Chain A
């Protein structure tokens, strides 16, 4: 059995065993605290450029199936777990996690003290690292490169090349334009299931084209990377906001909308990645358990209260979890109502989006 290693930017070295693809890969090392849902995590485009460490020790227990992909491929730079299950068991299981990692060329590392790694990341913040199989040891230059690594041009890397139309399940009631910054399939599924025909558009689609497409509303997807990097998208969003069309933004979509109204985003120490984050809806005085995956957050004080207000906050650290625009049918959330993985408690937000569309249509009439 081959060994594999993780070298962190601070010089910490973890030795474990090689799983998945053999090779070497640099990324921003992050941890995810979900106890299930590794298949969704692997295929979530928001993890582009990141090496993910699962805090739950037993990964791969139910294998890989054909239904739970969240995009067409895996995007992670590397995958770290304590123990990879060799004999998965589940009625939908089609292959093992190991085989999948190999097929996706994801360099894997197992058999390390993942809790120790997590504690390092928690205390010092996310850190770059290089994960490599025995025989692929990095040289000094590669290590230096790793230290300098930043996730760049992430949206461009994950967005669709050209528009794709997904028909509604059953009777079509709405036409939705979905700007793809790295969309998870389940955003599309949730909309289609509610009678939406969803047109997935490349991230940099001209806003006029969007507005002239005859859509009832615009969905802004999740996605990877530093939101502030996407200056053109932000400019485009300003046009869409001004049009008055109903918009719903999730995760990166939420951050980009915040930037478009003049707010700022900042990098968090280690972000939120898991399925147990409590978010309080201040209006309703209700707290929901949400699925999250983000390393940047909107700075609350920079949101102009004349344009939008912070309606959702994280109960643990008070960070901004969602904005409600004043006088416009626009709201955005930092968390993932489409889940996959995670608790489905906030999927009603899709209904709210469609209600906004209904009343907007009514208002127009």
Chain B
């Protein structure tokens, strides 16, 4: 059946801000879905609070609402737009949950909105634990046996039924306190007893322990006719126990025979059929490695991170097909876009191996708990495609941008054999490398490692093959062609081969050929040029069309500080280039993104963004030019290399990037332009640092040079702080200088500008809510600015123009200023696109990337329709509010500072500033329904005075105030009645601040401290405690003021205007 006749206007729900576990994959899915729906002539209403997404672009939907993803807000939008259908299964868990809530209270029925793709019963059957179990039981699919019990005797009785080992999970304890795995009856009795003791409700869950079973996933698809197919299956290298988002995953499964493969495939299709899902679905299995026994772990009745991976791994566009199926098409009626001939009703078969490697944030969050388990911690991932497992892993590891080029992790060289052996059993982000080191030192055998880790020996042999090659290279008397080629086929970089062998590659050097990802293992001719590198005979790269070829570098895995916004920029640049008549080429390795969709660029190379990998593509394509300024730091880092390869860089030249980062060069330029900056100096030693700080006066900002994204940056308030900081920094890197700057605690201002070489256009000036000191990515940012006098705006425009000109900016530049004592100072210049480009583009309507790209082709701003200078301010306010994933990262200090910590952002849009702020905070997860309650305040000495008016405001609103002793004294002395409570470092004294938080007596926590980071510090404990109990914890005075402004206004979502961005 083709398109249903009763569908005309469809609402699509996005997934909201990027958080750990819900990242760019839903922008990719939503974007595909919107396009698929509009192709059919349907009117699309999109709701997503995340402004950095491509799906919230004007061109993606007829109506675009960047509004909070809350039940109230979506109801208001439905009332306003009256869609006839709702597509809920492309917006991750957020979208699905919202749809469930909308359906549950009859709202959808009342407004005549049909739920497409899945019905509430289906969703409930998959999401509700008990219903899921019952459903699986009814169709004979095994789940993991488990039972809730209240006594040790019952625990034993149940275990007698299911057999040892079992996992004991106490109910309602934090982080599984009191639980564990019981291998013996004795252990069972002991753990069950402790578990019951720890549980607030004397309750434990006894579950069959399947740790060590293989974790296998199937991506399946079904239409309303009942046609059901598998897109791809995947095998986790880490067995059950590590979240699949934190596992290294390969596709297809490698250690399953056809019997096992088909057994699980049949099960997955049974499940999707029983649940009646129409569209994509993900089924996770645990498979006993020693038998055919299996259990269904989880079913996601929607597209997911895994489906994005499966789409990129096979070339099958799951989200697009899901959207088409939802509006009535059968799988046998949808054309496979890759072949252009066959239909979507087939199972992709691949003739390569795919590896996915997670990107964790522990390089930045050094104090966060880096152990891996059932809570996902990765912020992003990369995918690699290769002809063998070894090469796939090598490509993934170097592509994840953790400064590794092979499986050798340099720091492990200093570990003793004992430490390595111990490390093999510690499940964390580094274990894979520890395992390799154990194999490398030959201190453990594959079987020994398997016994401990339960990682299948097939994978361990793969690692062993890589290590054997490392050794062969190291031992080789001569680097022969045969050896070189074998190393290349296993995925070694020339650089690694040279390092290991000590010999130059020289004339042996070979670059790869490229093979096509075609869904069908070459059985049919593919129309889509989607390529991966292989050291082989035949090159499949199609000749160019004769148009100018432009290479756009993507931004790699999503990480703190480099998120989805750069994908937005890369994709828009590709679109602009196509409009300019160019043939576009993208290199990127992030499977979650729109940029790696096979129909974004004319040619897609799914490859790591390293110099050698890029060289291969350059050799195969011979592009006429390249663009690097849209791919974040990843792409910028490759600028010089591309120039060396003879590829002209379009836009700002490489030297300019260098000048902006090099203090001396930058100072020269500033001097020339007469632009002031906070005074500072470059130092190498602790003593020098102290001397400079004394001269400048505290507080000072200290940071290592040449590191972006605020990494390793701190504010020092005293000599002791400086000394501590220098000791840490010099321990790691001595060769790099450290910058010490006067820290100006003023108002921070940010601009993104487009420069054509002569003129500039500033679409908008942004003002930060938090004062300088909080990383710009973690600040609440508002457009247009509220507190900037026009003389300062003029100064900002003047400075921007001067800087753009002197840095030879052609394209985009991002500049951060601070307004301090009525003067504008410059803090930082980034001659590239930035985090704020998508949101400013959307709110001002200035297509920044398009203009910037056209400037690179010689067009002039004055000839375009948006003029020059500062673009007229709109009569809408847009407030960007950061979103964090603190709950998922244990032991991470939540206090905001110069180091960026947020994973995503939302936008609040309104004609009224207060309303925009309220929407922004609502979208970021602040619930402001409750107007009274308890507030706990514990602030550092520097903040005490400013805490008084805040406390006063809370008091006026009717909140009861609690504070730790010092803060309480200050407040009481200022006549703000406050109850003193004991601090976290006095756990035995009551009432204690931690008790209050744990007992759920607190509504807001305001906590700031001079020191932070270390999880043992009392202030960090307070903030962690609040975070883990989902209590809003404010860590900057200004953020608290923002919240208070909203609370005081008494605003409610139903009273707010829902704004369609397209109508502004």
List A residues at the B interface (Cβ < 8 Å): 31, 33-37, 39-40, 55-58, 61-62, 65, 67-68, 82-83, 85-92, 113-116, 118-119, 122, 274-278, 280, 285-289, 315-316, 339-345
Set A122, A280, A345: member contacting B523, Cβ < 8 A: A122
A36 and B521 contact, Cβ closer than 8 Å, known pairs A278-B343, A344-B262: no
Hey, which chain B residues are within 8 Å of A91, CB to CB? 289-291
Set B254, B289, B521: member contacting A58, Cβ < 8 A: B254
Hey, which chain A residues are within 8 Å of B253, CB to CB? 36
Hey, which chain A residues are within 8 Å of B461, CB to CB? 86-87, 89
Determine if B730 is an interface residue (Cβ-Cβ < 8 Å): no
A280 and B255 contact, Cβ closer than 8 Å, known pairs A56-B521, A57-B352, A113-B537: no
User: A33, B520: Cβ atoms under 8 Å?
Assistant: yes
Q: List 6 A-B contacts (CB under 8 A).
A: A34-B349, A39-B257, A90-B256, A116-B537, A274-B521, A315-B345
User: A58, B269: Cβ atoms under 8 Å?
Assistant: no
Set A57, A92, A116, A344: member contacting B257, Cβ < 8 A: A92
User: B256, A36: Cβ atoms under 8 Å?
Assistant: yes
A89 and B255 contact, Cβ closer than 8 Å, known pairs A287-B332, A343-B347: yes
Hey, which chain B residues are within 8 Å of A341, CB to CB? 258, 262
User: B353, A58: Cβ atoms under 8 Å?
Assistant: yes
User: B387, A315: Cβ atoms under 8 Å?
Assistant: no
Hey, which chain B residues are within 8 Å of A87, CB to CB? 457-458, 461
Which residue in chain A gives the minimum CB-CB distance to B288?
A91
Q: How far does the alpha carbon of A89 sit from the alpha carbon of B353 in the complex, in Å?
A: 17
User: B258, A113: Cβ atoms under 8 Å?
Assistant: no
User: B346, A316: Cβ atoms under 8 Å?
Assistant: yes
User: A278, B258: Cβ atoms under 8 Å?
Assistant: no
A57 and B349 contact, Cβ closer than 8 Å, known pairs A87-B457, A87-B461, A286-B227: no
User: B457, A315: Cβ atoms under 8 Å?
Assistant: no
Hey, which chain B residues are within 8 Å of A286, CB to CB? 225-227
Set B252, B332, B524: member contacting A280, Cβ < 8 A: B332
Q: How far does the alpha carbon of A79 sit from the alpha carbon of B227 in the complex, in Å?
A: 34
Which residue in chain A gives the minimum CB-CB distance to B519?
A276
Nearest CB in chain B: distance from A92 CB, A: 7
Determine if B266 is an interface residue (Cβ-Cβ < 8 Å): yes
Q: How far does the alpha carbon of A34 sit from the alpha carbon of B254 in the complex, in Å?
A: 13
Q: How far does the alpha carbon of A85 sit from the alpha carbon of B388 in the complex, in Å?
A: 11
Q: How far does the alpha carbon of A68 sit from the alpha carbon of B537 in the complex, in Å?
A: 34
Q: How far does the alpha carbon of A57 sit from the alpha carbon of B515 in the complex, in Å?
A: 13
Q: How far does the alpha carbon of A9 sit from the alpha carbon of B166 in the complex, in Å?
A: 61
Which residue in chain A gives the minimum CB-CB distance to B348?
A276
Set A31, A34, A85: member contacting B258, Cβ < 8 A: A34
Determine if B167 is an interface residue (Cβ-Cβ < 8 Å): no
Set A58, A65, A90, A113: member contacting B538, Cβ < 8 A: A113
Determine if B198 is an interface residue (Cβ-Cβ < 8 Å): no
User: B458, A89: Cβ atoms under 8 Å?
Assistant: yes
Hey, which chain B residues are within 8 Å of A34, CB to CB? 258, 349
User: A62, B255: Cβ atoms under 8 Å?
Assistant: yes
Set A116, A122, A276, A316: member contacting B349, Cβ < 8 A: A276
Hey, which chain B residues are within 8 Å of A37, CB to CB? 257-258
Q: Is the interface of B mostly helix, strand, loop or mixed?
A: loop
Nearest CB in chain B: distance from A17 CB, A: 11
A285 and B346 contact, Cβ closer than 8 Å, known pairs A116-B536, A122-B522: no
User: B538, A33: Cβ atoms under 8 Å?
Assistant: no
A115 and B351 contact, Cβ closer than 8 Å, known pairs A57-B387, A285-B225, A345-B269: yes
User: B261, A33: Cβ atoms under 8 Å?
Assistant: no
Hey, which chain A residues are within 8 Å of B565, CB to CB? none
Determine if B880 is an interface residue (Cβ-Cβ < 8 Å): no
Hey, which chain B residues are within 8 Å of A35, CB to CB? 252, 261, 349-350
Which residue in chain A gives the minimum CB-CB distance to B253?
A36
Determine if B531 is an interface residue (Cβ-Cβ < 8 Å): no
Which residue in chain B gives the minimum CB-CB distance to A285?
B225
Q: How far does the alpha carbon of A345 sit from the alpha carbon of B540 in the complex, in Å?
A: 35
Q: How far does the alpha carbon of A83 sit from the alpha carbon of B256 in the complex, in Å?
A: 17
User: B388, A57: Cβ atoms under 8 Å?
Assistant: yes
Hey, which chain B residues are within 8 Å of A289, CB to CB? 229-230, 346-347
Interface flags, B445-472, vs A, CB<8A=1, else 0: 0000000000011100100000000000
Hey, which chain B residues are within 8 Å of A40, CB to CB? 258
User: B254, A315: Cβ atoms under 8 Å?
Assistant: no
Hey, which chain A residues are within 8 Å of B387, CB to CB? 57, 82-83
A339 and B351 contact, Cβ closer than 8 Å, known pairs A62-B256, A276-B346, A316-B342: no
User: B266, A274: Cβ atoms under 8 Å?
Assistant: no
Most chain A beta-carbon contacts within 10 A, residue among B225, B227, B540: B227
A315 and B343 contact, Cβ closer than 8 Å, known pairs A33-B349, A62-B255, A345-B269: yes
Q: How far does the alpha carbon of A286 sit from the alpha carbon of B290 in the complex, in Å?
A: 36
Nearest CB in chain B: distance from A69 CB, A: 12
Hey, which chain B residues are within 8 Å of A122, CB to CB? 522-525
A56 and B350 contact, Cβ closer than 8 Å, known pairs A115-B538, A340-B258: yes
Q: Using a CB-CB cutoff of 8 Å, which residues 870-907 of chain B contact chain A?
A: none
Hey, which chain B residues are within 8 Å of A114, CB to CB? 351
Determine if B265 is an interface residue (Cβ-Cβ < 8 Å): yes
A287 and B258 contact, Cβ closer than 8 Å, known pairs A83-B388, A118-B351, A118-B521: no
Q: Using a CB-CB cutoff of 8 Å, which residues 258-285 of chain B contact chain A?
A: 258-259, 261-262, 265-266, 269
Q: How far does the alpha carbon of A343 sit from the alpha carbon of B270 in the complex, in Å?
A: 13
User: B261, A36: Cβ atoms under 8 Å?
Assistant: yes
Q: Using a CB-CB cutoff of 8 Å, which residues 221-259 of chain B contact chain A?
A: 225-227, 229-230, 252-259
Hey, which chain B residues are within 8 Å of A275, CB to CB? 258, 347, 349
User: A36, B538: Cβ atoms under 8 Å?
Assistant: no
Hey, which chain B residues are within 8 Å of A56, CB to CB? 252, 349-351, 521
Hey, which chain A residues are within 8 Å of B332, CB to CB? 278, 280, 287, 315
Nearest CB in chain A: distance from B516 CB, A: 9
Q: How far does the alpha carbon of A61 sit from the alpha carbon of B229 in the complex, in Å?
A: 25
Set A316, A339, A345: member contacting B343, Cβ < 8 A: A316
Q: How far does the alpha carbon of A122 sit from the alpha carbon of B341 in the complex, in Å?
A: 15
Q: How far does the alpha carbon of A365 sit from the alpha carbon of B389 in the complex, in Å?
A: 62
Nearest CB in chain B: distance from A72 CB, A: 19
User: B538, A116: Cβ atoms under 8 Å?
Assistant: yes
Q: How far does the alpha carbon of A118 sit from the alpha carbon of B515 in the complex, in Å?
A: 12
Q: How far does the alpha carbon of A39 sit from the alpha carbon of B259 in the complex, in Å?
A: 11
Nearest CB in chain A: distance from B164 CB, A: 20
User: B349, A55: Cβ atoms under 8 Å?
Assistant: yes
Q: Using a CB-CB cutoff of 8 Å, which residues 835-864 of chain B contact chain A?
A: none
Most chain A beta-carbon contacts within 10 A, residue among B259, B290, B331, B388: B259
User: B346, A58: Cβ atoms under 8 Å?
Assistant: no
Nearest CB in chain A: distance from B313 CB, A: 12
Hey, which chain B residues are within 8 Å of A342, CB to CB? 258, 262
Which residue in chain A gives the minimum CB-CB distance to B266?
A344
Hey, which chain A residues are within 8 Å of B522, CB to CB? 31, 55, 115, 118-119, 122
Nearest CB in chain B: distance from A272 CB, A: 9
User: B523, A274: Cβ atoms under 8 Å?
Assistant: yes
Q: How far does the alpha carbon of A158 sit from the alpha carbon of B456 in the complex, in Å?
A: 38
User: B257, A287: Cβ atoms under 8 Å?
Assistant: no
Nearest CB in chain A: distance from B31 CB, A: 27
Nearest CB in chain B: distance from A289 CB, A: 5
Most chain A beta-carbon contacts within 10 A, residue among B226, B266, B347, B521: B521
Hey, which chain B residues are within 8 Å of A86, CB to CB? 461
Q: How far does the alpha carbon of A339 sit from the alpha carbon of B349 in the complex, in Å?
A: 16
Q: How far does the alpha carbon of A118 sit from the alpha carbon of B351 in the complex, in Å?
A: 10
Q: How far does the alpha carbon of A287 sit from the alpha carbon of B225 in the complex, in Å?
A: 9
User: Closest 7 A-B residue pairs measured CB to CB?
Assistant: A37-B258, A341-B258, A55-B521, A116-B538, A276-B347, A89-B458, A87-B461
Nearest CB in chain A: distance from B274 CB, A: 15
Nearest CB in chain A: distance from B835 CB, A: 40
Q: Using a CB-CB cutoff of 8 Å, which residues 532-553 of chain B contact chain A?
A: 536-538, 540
User: A113, B342: Cβ atoms under 8 Å?
Assistant: no
Set A92, A315, A340: member contacting B346, Cβ < 8 A: A315
Q: How far does the alpha carbon of A80 sit from the alpha carbon of B279 in the complex, in Å?
A: 37
User: A278, B345: Cβ atoms under 8 Å?
Assistant: yes
A36 and B258 contact, Cβ closer than 8 Å, known pairs A113-B538, A122-B522, A274-B523: yes
